[in-house]
Structure 1
Amino acid sequence: MHGQYECGETPSEMIEITYGYSKDHRPDLKQMVLNLITSHRSQIPAWMEALSGNQSDKESFPKTIQAFCKQMEAEEDCFFVVDSALYSADNLKSLGAVRWLTRVPETLVEARRLKRETALQTMTELSDGYAYREVSSTYGGVDQRWLVVYSLKAAQREEKTLQHRVEKEKKAAQQAWRKLQSQTFNCREDAEAALAAIQQKWKYHNVKGEIVPLTRYSSPGRPAAGATPQVVGFRLVGEVQTSKSLLEQARRGQGCFILATNELQADLLPPETMLAQYKAQAISVERGFRFLKDPLFFADSLFLKNPGRIMALTMIMVLALLVYALAERKLRTRLQESGKSLPNQVGKETQTPTMRWIFQVFEGIDLLLIWQGDKLAHRQVTNLKPVHLDVIHLLGPPVENCYLLTS
């Protein structure tokens, strides 16, 4: 949000435009928060709620879910796939009979332990490089099914990230070790302390080093027969080595995440369905927010005179998302039913175009009006090409009428 939005006395139902955790990495700007519930496997909005900019997801999610269930009068029939911010003992207790599916945060000690101890060989394979292992759990006094999910693609990404971190740390470790090797310590105890400290400093490396004394004769020149050199200090020698054991430990649980649900009947929610529904939620909700923040449709920042107008604008934006999502769903359904396809951005045929791309395709379509005196003599939509006509006819009579066409 751009603007001061000075805090004053506001009605209880009015949101506060203020500073909060910024997911867009703009902590310098005030903001508002929007909670959005969409239908399964689509971005069709079913519920929206504007909240103050300092409202946390952990606090607002259960309240939003409860408000939705109360409005729909169907608490036991609702099933929610929710962001991991929902997962806390208090939130799970407060939801009662509401069924939910979410990701277990890796801040939980039990989740980290389970990821480390689950071997890929003990998991059941799924398609597309996934595998799973199901376990029972109780958290916050709520009985649950936990699904430890392995993703090959995620494991490959994490391995690449790990290798980058290892190389970066190795360079830093070698530089620090060279600097330490150049130092002279007055006593062995100081050298031992420095060696022990650098051994504990690195996450993926250790130092194979030893302490050697520096000796010098008391007088310059050629030492006399039988003269004994004196120890004047101590130095560290050795090399930095990548630790195989530390790397092996870092790789444990690589590519894994944990899903949790309070639906205890596996026949009603099999593991395959749990994973599919979680992935669909991530796509549908995130696509909805991308639409709302896309400057092509609205704006990536807002400025209105007061919070009440901003709340009204968010309602209009979500209604626009509703129309957008319904149009996209209808177009994709009609393409599949008719066996037709449309060219995408690179000219490849597809049956799942986005309405964002369709809107870009329709840029340059004009309405020509010819007047004779004060009388309209002719109306015509210009620049329509076959791809435009295909889309218009697929969307049906209401859209055909807008473009002065008949089936």
Structure 2
Amino acid sequence: MPAPQPVIKRLDHLGLIAAFCREVGLPDIIDRIIPKYSEHKVSHGDAVLAMILNGLGFHSRTLHMFSDFFETKPVSKLLAKDIEAHHLTDDVLGRTLDALYEADVSALYQAIAEHVVDKLGLKTDSVHLDITSFHVDGEYAQDDDINAIKLVKGYSRDHRPELNQVVLELICENQAGLPVYMQALSGNTNDAKAFSEVTKKHIHCLKAAQNSRYFIADAALYTEDSIRSLDEQKQKFITRVPMTIKSAKEALLALRPEQLTHIGNGYSGCWIDANYGAVTQKWLLVHSEQATKREEITFYKNLDKNAAKELKALGQLMKKEFACAIDAEQAMDDFASQCHLIGFAQKTIIKEAVYAGRGRPKKGAKPTGYRYFIDATPYTDLDKVKLAKLKVGMFILATNDTDSADLTMAALLEHYKSQQKVERGFRFLKSPEFLTSSIFLKKPQRIEALLMIMTLSLLVYASLEHKIREQLNKTEAFFPSMVKNKTTTKPTARWVFLKFEGIDTLELDGQSFITGVREHQLRLLKLLGQLYEAVYS
């Protein structure tokens, strides 16, 4: 009789992820909201945990290789149930994604996120709104579900405009960068419109926003509807002001260098009172020395080129034929509003008669119609050039918090710069190591559910990073740093995951052993708690 062969499975960092998900009760929450009603071996909560493990496995495989991923993993230890790799099929994946969609992915995610925030004891000062897009592969037929997202072409942030897009909107809290709200949107969604919708319909029921002092977003938030909606809900906001607004241009043109006050770290600023969208607010005009140095060279280099480009575009417009004077005037007005360097000494509409036949019309012939052309005399508008120069290294921040004495220039700037937390989350989701760089599933509804799984993975990643750093800060720094022979109390979760490579389970004669655990890993596991130690014992 041959001797039994040992079976080795890779545990690595996946035990940390599984332990955290069980600690916060993530699978149980899902099973309570969407319980399974059939005899399937894997519940929806188990399947979601498996997908998160797959997503945070950093293996660069697409999601359809779901079951293959678990062939070399100790599934029963990770899921803490009598489940094996062959139970985790594509059918299980699809069934769970369908159930998530039916349960309303945004509402379900919000319930989970609020529970995790409470579990971690996070006290948020602000929440941050942002939006990004992913391209989707394959052809999708139009669905009868009017509530399903539309996979259509739109603005592509990953530079694949030829492909259909899907948009993900996130709101993140500022302490750990946890996404507390997510919504999948159609590929052609306009940022400003999406931000307006979320401020009107969702902020009032978002616990993290209610507990936060500030709601922060980029310039897409700064529309009359959005800021008025926030102000009416007594929600303080901080946002960037688009330079296309007339009053913003006027503020920059009226600014004198001596008005700027030093803020620190290469920034200087000036307060001005403002009223936009019937909302009383104050603006901080900010000048960045680093941005000025970086952008000034490009500005002068491109000044003549951009002016020539506008003149060329004017020449093409003047050759264009219009059916009526109103159309010609509208086209000229639209063009003039887009010119950043040239102005117009005169703008006229030329009316030309159209006659039947070729050649010169006979004397007394009546025209069969008229056509219209634009005639304009351009010049270099020095005010526009001055404004363009002023924009180099300058930006404007707006807030409706006009009474707080502790909201200094430095504090306002720091609050806005923490917007990078949500941008960091988007970079994580777009990493080629995470799930897949593009998306292909059979139905738009499943793509919407997959975006929830991706956001849940980001939630777990950011939460685990926060927990590890918090525990390390309570003791002496000992976890290995990326710098040789150094230690750190602020490792990224990705670095911790890399330092947990090489841990395996060994199954022999019906017994299971953990191999490859090193000293720094044992010490971290002890800090994290018994649940984490149990997975690696």
Which range, TM-score by smaller chain? Answer: 0.7 to 0.9
Which moved further from structure 2: 80-89 or 58-67? 58-67
**Aligned residue for 2:129?**
none
Residue in structure 1 matching 2:404, options 259, 262, 266: 266
* Aligned counterpart, 2:156: 22
CA deviation after TM superposition for structure 1 residue 147, in Å = 0.6
Match status 1:42 vs 2:179? no
Q: Distance in 1 between matches of 2:514 and 2:210?
A: 53
More deviation, 132-141/394-403: 394-403
Q: Does 1:149 align with 2:286?
A: yes
- Which residue of 2 is the match for residue 93 of structure 1? 228
**Contact map agreement 2:204 2:210 (CA 8 A) in 1:** no
| Contact 2:263–2:409 under 8 Å retained in 1 | no
Superposed displacement of residue 31, structure 1: 1.3
Contact 2:468/2:528, CA 8 A, preserved across alignment: yes
In the aligned structure 2, how far is the partner of 1:132 from the partner of 1:341?
Answer: 41
**Other-structure match for 2:458:** 321
Find out whether 1:368 has 2:506 as its counterpart: yes
Q: Does the 8 A contact of 1:104 with 1:260 survive in 2?
A: yes
Contact 1:20 1:27 in 2 (8 A): yes
In the TM superposition, residue 253 of structure 1 has moved relative to its aligned partner by: 4.3
> Which stretch of the first structure deviates more once superposed, 394-403 or 344-353?
344-353
* Structure 1 segments (4+ residues) deviating >6 Å: 73-76, 244-249
Q: Is the 8 A contact 1:135 1:145 kept in 2?
A: yes
CA contact (8 A) 1:116 1:253 kept: no
Q: 1:333 aligns with which of 470, 474, 497?
A: 470
1:60-139 matched pairs, under 5 angstroms: 60-72=194-206, 78=212, 79-95=214-230, 96-97=232-233, 98-139=235-276
Deviation of 1:29 after TM superposition, in Å, equals 0.9
SS at match of 1:263: coil
Residue 386 (structure 1) aligned with residue 480 (structure 2) = no
Distance 1:277 1:45, change over 3 A: same
Q: Which residue of 2 aligns with 1:219?
A: none
Report how far residue 2 of structure 1 moved.
0.3
Does the residue aligned with 1:252 lie in a helix, a strand or coil?
helix
Is 2:452 the partner of 1:306?
no
Q: Quick one: which amino acid aligns to residue 519 of structure 2?
A: P
SS at structure 2 position matched to 1:126: strand
CA apart distance, 1:246? 10
Deviation at 1:341? 4.7
Q: What does residue 231 of structure 1 align with?
A: none
Instruction: Please tell me whether the aligned partners of residues 44 and 326 of structure 1 are also in contact (alpha carbons under 8 angstroms).
Output: yes
* Equivalence map 1:151-230=2 (5 Å): 151-162=288-299, 164-165=301-302
How far apart in 2 are the matches of 1:360 and 1:73?
34
Map of 1:52 onto structure 2: 186
CA deviations over 1:137-180 (Å, ceiling 9, x no partner): 011111111011122221221124335436x859x99xxxxxxx
**C-alpha spacing 1:337/1:130, structure 2 compared with 1 (3 Å):** farther
CA distance in 2, matches of 1:127, 1:268: 17
Name the CA distance, whole Å, in 1 between partners of 2:437 and 2:148: 22
> Which residue in 2 is equivalent to 1:189?
none
Partner Cα distance (1:394, 1:104) in 2? 45
| Cα distance change of structure 1 residues 393 and 126 upon mapping to structure 2, 3 Å threshold | farther
For the residues of structure 1 that align with 2:499 and 2:249, how far apart are their CA atoms?
Answer: 48
Q: Distance in 2 between matches of 1:165 and 1:145?
A: 33
Conserved 8 A contact 2:525-2:532: yes
Contact 2:264 2:410 (8 Å CA) reproduced: no
Secondary structure of the equivalent of 1:138? strand
Higher Cα Rg: structure 1 or 2?
1
Structure 2 partner of 1:196: none
- 1:304 and 1:165, CA in 2 relative to 1: closer, same or farther beyond 3 A? same
Structure having greater relative contact order (Cα 8 Å, sep ≥ 6): 2
Structure 1 segment 236-275 matched on structure 2, within 5 A: 251-267=389-405, 269-275=407-413
Q: Is the 8 A contact 1:117 1:253 kept in 2?
A: no
The answer to whether residue 428 in structure 2 is matched with residue 291 in structure 1 is yes
How far apart are the structure 2 equivalents of 1:247 and 1:390? 61
Secondary structure of 2:164's aligned partner: coil
Change (3 A) 1:253 1:289: closer
Indicate how the Cα distance of structure 1 residues 316 and 117 shifts in structure 2: closer, same or farther if over 3 A, else same. Answer: same
Identity of aligned residues (%): 38
SS in 1 for 2:418: helix
User: 8 Å contact 2:237–2:401 — kept in the other structure?
Assistant: yes
CA RMSD of aligned residues (A): 3.0
* 1:85-140 alpha-carbon deviations (Å, 9 max, x no partner): 01112322233233211000111232233234323432221221122111110111
- The equivalent position to 1:2 in structure 2, one of 137, 141, 150, is 137
Number of aligned positions between the proteins: 329
Counterparts of 2:297 and 2:472, CA distance in 1:
39
> Does structure 1 retain, via aligned residues, the 8 Å contact 2:260–2:269?
yes
- 2:522 & 2:296 partners in 1: Cα distance? 48
Name the structure 1 match of 2:529: 396
Q: Distance in 2 between matches of 1:308 and 1:247?
A: 49
The structure carrying a bigger helix percent of its residues is 2
Deviation at 1:389, TM superposition (A): 3.2
Q: Distance in 1 between matches of 2:215 and 2:197?
A: 13
User: 1:369 corresponds to which letter in structure 2?
Assistant: E
Cα 1:294–1:73, aligned 2, differ >3 Å: closer, same or farther? closer
Whole-Å separation in 2 of the counterparts to 1:370 and 1:89 = 68
8 Å Cα contact 2:196/2:225 also seen in 1:
no
Shift of 1:323: 1.1
CA distance in 2, matches of 1:361, 1:73: 36
* CA distance in structure 2 between the aligned counterparts of 1:333 and 1:74, rounded to whole angstroms: 20
Deviates more, 1:263-272 or 1:288-297: 263-272
The aligned counterpart of 1:229 is none
Q: 1:73 to 1:358 in 2, by over 3 A?
A: closer
AA at the equivalent of 1:63:
E
Question: In the aligned structure 2, how far is the partner of 1:41 from the partner of 1:341?
Answer: 23
C-alpha change, 1:346 and 1:39, in structure 2 (3 Å) is same
